[in-house]
Amino acid sequence: ADGYYEYTTSECVYSTSDYSDMVYLLSYSFNKDVFLQFNSTVGKCVGLTEFGVMNAERLNKDQAILQQLKAQVDTFCRHNAQLSDSAVRDKA
């Protein structure tokens, strides 16, 4: 079908049980091509296309947005990892 496909993905990546290495990744895609990413380790948005660079520059100037994205490691990732990890451990 003709049309456009835009979506975002949020990922929490970690390998230690204390979550000390946890990274929050937010990716914006258009027609299966990632054009913008936020990485909590880097602490800012990175544009991967011309459109993405333009948006990354705009977002990186807004400290409130950056602080909110950085906080996702604790509020989204760590919180959900603790819930899912305890559910798996309780079943083992």
**Given pLDDT bands bounded at 50, 70 and 90, which one contains residue 87?**
confident
Query: 39-74 in b/e burial notation, b at 16+ Cβ within 10 A?
Result: bbeeeebebbeeebeebbeebbeeeeebeebeebbe
Q: Rounded mean pLDDT of 73-84?
A: 92
Q: Rounded mean pLDDT of 15-38?
A: 95
Pairing of strands 33-39, 6-13: unpaired
Segments making up each domain of the chain, as ranges: 6-89
Task: Return the pLDDT at 91.
Answer: 63
DSSP state of 16: S
Taking domain 6-89, whether its CATH number is 3.40.50.300 is answered by no
Task: Convert the pLDDT of each residue in 37-60 to its tens digit.
Answer: 999 999 999 999 999 999 999 999
50-60 helix and 63-72 helix, angle to the nearest 10 degrees: 100
* Per-chain mean pLDDT for the chain: 92
pTM of the predicted structure, to 2 decimals: 0.85
